[in-house]
Amino acid sequence: MASDTAFKRIFKQFKSSSGSDAIQKAIDPSTESGSACFKPFQLIPLPEGLAANHLAEVGLHADLGFWKAAELSSKPGLILIRNAFTSLGQYFWVQTCMKSFPTLPHRSNLGGASVLGKVGTELANNAELCARLRWITFGYHHDWDSKVYSNQERSLIPRELAQLSRIIAGRVGYADYEPEATIINYYNAKTTMSGHVDTSERNLDAPLISVSLGQTAIFLIGTSKPSDPPEALVLRSGDIVVMSGPSRVAFHALPRVICNVRYSKRAFQEEQQQQQDATFELVEEIDPLIVGYMNAHRINLNIRQVD
């Protein structure tokens, strides 16, 4: 990207803004003025044979009436789905990202087998590892230097993540979606993601699916040109962004994480007592260390189809 573009200028503005100012300047879909920037998007019914427990076991509301979807009017193909996850479902995914996913053969910025072999059981209890963890890849492993996917650099997509992505993709019209690469990003309050466009995938017709967990963030979505100014969206835990159509190849970034949500072990336990479904079965107990991590971090699941 050029040294000084409209996209970069707006990125810097939000990066240096206070949390409250950033939210006020961005499109907040939870407000009346923010929702006016969207147009309704009709979600597709689930296919026959997909039982309610299939949604609950990946943390989604089985009652589809909770799901709310809209398309950003100024950015065709940018679909925002809200209220699809239960609160306990959001906790489940953070716990999974902290305890299950950072293990071999998945790759992370933490390094080789000597570290990865133990973080699956120790990560949530190890403050140093938590502070160092920035990303994990599985499926096709992303080469940060070459930006090329290789058939020789590949691991399995976890079953529950594949199931989650297929359900989401199916609801926005991509029934044949095949999750083949995933990047999980871990953000603290100071972490940012600079402007970029994802074009390493050979199939640019299949959408990018992004799930926000934990703290609030400002997300920038532009066009295929960095010279065009982006829109800024407020994303909260449980929000799903689907980048399709023209937005699939648009510049995007995350200039700001805002720690304005307070989670509590008691609240999750109360929902656990009320929610006797597949999600309840997945979360045996609420770990206060996971809750503490949610109070200071954001996690983003980004799922792609490569071919």
- In the predicted model, is pLDDT for residue 113 greater than 50? no
- Confidence tier at 47 by pLDDT (50, 70, 90): confident
Per domain, the residue ranges of the chain are 6-304
| HSE-CB for 128 with a 13 A CA cutoff | 2
Q: What angle do CA 61, 64, 65 make, to 5 degrees?
A: 110
Sign of CA dihedral 29, 34, 35, 37: negative
Pick out the residues of the known binding site for Fe cation. Answer: 196, 198, 252
Pick out the residues of the known binding site. Answer: 196, 198, 252
The pLDDT tens digits for 12-25 are 999 999 999 999 99
Task: Tell me the average pLDDT of the chain.
Answer: 90
In the numeric block, the tokens 């609240």 are attached to 267
Query: How confident is the model at residue 301, as a pLDDT?
Result: 98
Burial group, residue 75, by CB count within 10 angstroms (0-12, 13-18, 19+): buried
Question: Domain spanning 6-304: which CATH class is it, in words?
Answer: mainly beta
Query: How confident is the model at residue 277, as a pLDDT?
Result: 61
Measured distance between the N- and C-terminal CA atoms of the chain, rounded to whole angstroms: 26
